[in-house]
Structures are given as structure tokens and as C-alpha cells.
Amino acid sequence: MGSTSRALGGLAAVFALVVATVTVTPAAVASAAPEDDFRPAAVDWSPCPELPEVECGTLRLPVDWAEPHGAKFDLALARRKATDPANRVGSLVIHPGGPGPSGVEFAFAAPYWFSPQVQQRFDIVGFDPRGVGRSAPITCSTDLIARRPSTYPTTQAGFQALGRYNRELAADCRKRSGPIFDHSDSKAVVEDLDAIRRALGERKISYYGLSYGTLIGQQYAERYGRNLRAMVSDSNLDHSLDAWSFNEGTATAAEDSFREFVEWCDAKPACALHGQDVGAFWDDLIARADRGEISEPGDPSRPVSASQIIDYALLSFYDPSWTQLSEWLVARARTAAPAGRTAPAVSGVSGVSGVSGVSGEATAFPFVPVFCQDWQIRPRSLREYTSLLRRADDIAPHMSRAFLGHQVVHGCVGLPDATNPQQRPRLDDAPKILLLNNLHDPSTGYGWAKSLHRQTRGTTVLLTYEGWGHGSYIRTDCVRDAADRYLISLRAPADGTRCAPADSPELPIPSAAAATPGSRASGAHPWWKGFTR
């Protein structure tokens, strides 16, 4: 197995770090230009250098939709044309979540994710959202990121230092990234999405959004519902949640997945911890990591922090890949540290892939800038901050320190108010929308899907997969067939439909994945682990 830092990959860097956000006013974002004020040019498609069977192109779009004839940036696109053009339904625009993963690469991997029926009937179009990947990426100083103060301050002075640091890092990221930094919230992406529709020449588009892509879909359906043919919203966020509810939801989802992992280990000999008290093993491992007693196997000089262990576990719940997780935990429990070594920093920044630590370098870092523009989660005092963390600890005694929850809360400390803050969804002009969610999702917990559905019952239909992992569409034929039928024929399943779990929580990897860039079959970290939040 690879090292902790390599296995966590850039995704852990995204969630483990902190960056700040915007000075643009909410009114400026809200006054996005009407369609007639900006007419995007048609996309000049050509074979993608990485994958010639897919077409790539760019769309020149306004940085600030309130000033559509001002500064521009290039939005990267990829398209897989329908394999049965005679029976083509239209364009299916896809969003991989994050914020941070590449929608262009999601389109590259479409044969793994989407059924042959969907590939036959739709042009599948992916895009790198503004601030991400090939679309004016947000970058920040590696050196400054590495100097982050404690993200678990215990004094008012420490809390204020965290806020000052966030603002300093914001200034650095803004300087390196340019004006896109202050114009990367989901409302801006919604305007980009409708510009894509117009550039494609489509009267209406179909949309598939995964995880954070569900927020883009919800807000597109709210603003441009009449331009939407169909929408599958997979692994749902509820943008009406306040800071307390968001914090409780992330803690509940992560701890639920941990309990499911423990039950699986108790029942299955495939678990390397089978026959042991997994909860006690875990508590001991985390305590040893906090004391600096855990290292990478074969390399005592490379410490493994408690945060790295918890984050690796949470990522492993996404697939899920429980067998691999159990082996990974056992291997690190067998390590020993040199006498006298102090515990590694709780941040887990040092050595994480994507943050090399070389002086003067910058690293791509879009997650927290986007998140902090979309969510008004701003603890104003040490007391409020500590109360949020203690509440998460009460709900999730094993998983509360994972990157979702604690680390997205501290990422927004001391920053200006969100430009796209939480509000109840208003989907009156939208067509019927299909919500998919797993019962045991480690990231976008089932409670969020139920809450979203309650608020939009006249527009949405909820299908529940009674299993594990993040992302429902790929789990079983029951889920996939219902979603395909809806996308192709606009026949939604009955509200409240439930699909039984697969025999095994762990997804089989089809042979087709061997040809997919970044697939597990090619030896890389599973590509969908970036398409999460």
C-alpha cells in the first residue's frame, strides 16, 4: 500500500487546509446579467489531447456576471457525443462535486460511471467549474499554507490568530488567482451552466449533479427551471442548513459510516480486525497517533497524525473500501516511533500530496474559497467555535475530527460574510427532479436528502439506496435503471422508492475501468474519491 499522504492525495489537502474568501458584496452577485446581455460563442470542439475520442473546448465567459462585458476567463469543457445519434435525446451536463474535482475528467470517465443506455442517448458534457482545474484555477502559497496556526485553538488569542491567518491567506490567494477568486460561488457557476446550454444550442438541458454538484443543480433549477429538461441530484446537500445543523449533519453521517464499518468487521472475516474490539482498537490507535507514536510502515521518520488516520477512514467510506481500510489501520498500528518524538500537528498539512512545501510554490486550492462563499458558517467567538466542536464530538466520538465538519468550520473563521448564503430552495418553475441518496452516506447524510425533499415535495421525488458509500447512481441496477428511465423517458420512480443494498458494501470495479484515466485498475487512487463533496 502507498503512504498516508499519497493515499489521501490532493483531496485531503483540499479539506485539511484553510483559505479565505471574498470582498464582493452579495448584491453584486445577485444582480447577475440576464441572458440577452451576454451571448456566448459556439464552442470550437476538437479531440482532447488526453483522450482523443472525447471532444474538448473552451467557453469565454465573464468573471463577474454583474459586468458581463468586463474581464473574461476560459471555462474548460469536454463532450462525449451520443453513441446512437439517430436516437439522441439531447445534452446531459454533469458536475462531479467537490468543489475541486474536474468535470472534464468526469466526462473522460463517463463510460465507467454512466450506463450504455445513457451514453447512447445523450451527449455527455463535463466542465471544470470556475476556479477549478483548467478553468482559471484558484491557487495559494504553499509556504503560507504550511504556516497555518492551530485549527483547534483553546484561547481567545489563538482564535483571533486563526482569523488573522485566514485573512492573510485570502489576500495571497486573491493576488495569485486574480479576480476569479472573488467570483467563484455557486450562483456564478449557475450562470456559467446556462451559458453552456446556450453555447450548445440547446433549448433545455438535462443535468446530473453529484454531491456538491447537487447545490449547483438546485440553484440552476431555481433560477433557470424553464431551461431544465430533467435533473438527477445524487447525494444531496441541503442549502437551508445553518452552521449548527450543517455541523451536526456532517458528524452524524461520518459516525454512522464508522458504525457500519465496525459492524461489517464484526461479521466478516475479510476484515483484518475481525474478532477484535474495533472501537477499542480505533481509540487506542488515535490516542497513540496524538502522542506521536504512529508512523508510516517501514519509515519511522514519517509520522501519521490522528487527523490523517480519521481522514483516510472517511475517504475509505466513500467507496466503500473497507477491506483495504482495515489492512491499512492494522499496518500502522504495528509501527513504532522513535523515543521522544512529539506528536505531529493536528492539521496534517505536512507531506500531504499537493502541498509539497517547496519555497515559492503555489498549490491549487479551490474548496474552501467556494465553500465559504456559499455557506454562512462563521463562528464569531471562541465560545461559539468551541461549542460547535463539542457538539460534533458528542455526536461523533470517533469521527468528529474528519475534514468535513471541524475543518470546514475553521476554514471560514474571520472572513467576510458569504456571498451566496443559505436559503430555502424555491423550485416552482422546475420540472420533476429525481433525488438519489444512500442511507449510509459518509458525507452527504441521508437526513439532508430527507430535509431537502420535505422542502420541495411538489417538485422532487426521493429514491433511497439502503446501502453504503457516497454516490447512489452506480450502486445497483435498481438505482441505475430508475435514474436512466427518468433521464431518457422522463418517467420518474414513485416517490419513496427504496432499493435494497448490494450483497457487499464494496463496489466491484468493472473491466472497462482499466481504460479509464486514474482508475484503480491502472494503479492510481480511485478517481471518484475526488468527486465527493
135 DSSP assignment = B
Q: Are 429 and 454 in contact (CB under 8 A)?
A: no
Euclidean distance between CA atoms 454 and 429, whole angstroms:
17
Say if residue 300 is preceded by a cis peptide, omega within 30 of 0: no
The grid coordinates listed for 50 are: 488526453
Mean pLDDT over residues 65-87, rounded? Answer: 97
Mean pLDDT over residues 461-468, rounded? Answer: 98
Which candidate, 402, 453, 405, 401, places its Cα nearest to that of 432?
453
Secondary structure element (H or E) that encloses residue 257, with its range? helix 243-267
Q: Rounded to 10 degrees, what is the CA torsion of 244, 248, 249, 254? A: 150
pLDDT digits (tens, 9 = 90+) for 13-24: 333 333 333 333
Euclidean distance between CA atoms 140 and 188, whole angstroms:
21
pLDDT digits (tens, 9 = 90+) for 366-425: 888 899 999 999 999 999 999 999 999 999 999 988 887 777 788 899 999 999 999 999
Euclidean distance between CA atoms 262 and 275, whole angstroms:
11
Please give the pLDDT value at position 368: 80
Please state, in angstroms and as integers, the Cα–Cα distance from residue 34 to each residue in 68, 156, 197, 206, following that order.
9, 46, 14, 21
Euclidean distance between CA atoms 112 and 321, whole angstroms:
18
φ/ψ (deg, to 5) at 90: 160, -155
Please give the pLDDT value at position 510: 41
Q: Are 296 and 2 in contact (CB under 8 A)?
A: no
**Domain boundaries for CATH 3.40.50.1820 within the chain:** 48-135+186-238+425-530
Sign of the dihedral defined by the CA atoms of residues 248, 250, 256, 259, in that order: negative
Higher-confidence residue of 158 and 11: namely: 158
pLDDT digits (tens, 9 = 90+) for 127-138: 999 999 999 999
**Band of pLDDT at residue 337, cut at 50, 70 and 90:** low
**Band of pLDDT at residue 35, cut at 50, 70 and 90:** low
Q: Are 17 and 368 in contact (CB under 8 A)?
A: yes
Residue 435: strand, helix, or coil: strand
Please give the pLDDT value at position 111: 96
Please give the pLDDT value at position 528: 41
The grid coordinates listed for 42 are: 459556439
The maximal CA–CA distance of the chain, rounded, in angstroms, is: 70
Higher-confidence residue of 226 and 12: namely: 226
What whole-number percentage of the chain has pLDDT above 90?
76
Burial of residue 438 (CB within 10 Å: 0-12, 13-18, 19+) is buried
pLDDT digits (tens, 9 = 90+) for 171-192: 999 999 999 999 999 999 999 9
**Band of pLDDT at residue 140, cut at 50, 70 and 90:** very high
What whole-number percentage of the chain has pLDDT above 70?
84
State the average pLDDT for the chain: 86
pLDDT digits (tens, 9 = 90+) for 338-362: 655 655 555 433 333 333 344 467 8
Comparing 124-138, 294-308, 472-486, 513-527, the range with the smallest average pLDDT is: 513-527
The grid coordinates listed for 191 are: 450562470
Pairing of the two strands 433-440 and 228-234: parallel
Please give the pLDDT value at position 24: 32
Euclidean distance between CA atoms 186 and 126, whole angstroms:
16
Please give the pLDDT value at position 342: 58
Neighbour-count burial for 162-184, b at 16+ CB within 10 Å, e otherwise: bbebbeebbebbbebbeebbbbb
Euclidean distance between CA atoms 117 and 489, whole angstroms:
11
Say if residue 137 is preceded by a cis peptide, omega within 30 of 0: no
Mean pLDDT over residues 113-117, rounded? Answer: 97
* CATH superfamily to which 48-135+186-238+425-530 belongs: Alpha/Beta hydrolase fold, catalytic domain (3.40.50.1820)
pLDDT digits (tens, 9 = 90+) for 198-220: 999 999 999 999 999 999 999 99
Sign of the dihedral defined by the CA atoms of residues 246, 248, 249, 254, in that order: positive
Q: Are 333 and 281 in contact (CB under 8 A)?
A: yes
The grid coordinates listed for 231 are: 435533473
pLDDT at 300 over 60: yes
Sign of the dihedral defined by the CA atoms of residues 98, 104, 109, 113, in that order: positive
Other CB atoms within 10 Å distance of the CB of residue 504: 15
Residue type, 247: N
pLDDT digits (tens, 9 = 90+) for 49-59: 999 999 999 99
Total number of residues shown for the chain = 533
Comparing 46-55, 335-344, 493-502, the range with the smallest average pLDDT is: 335-344
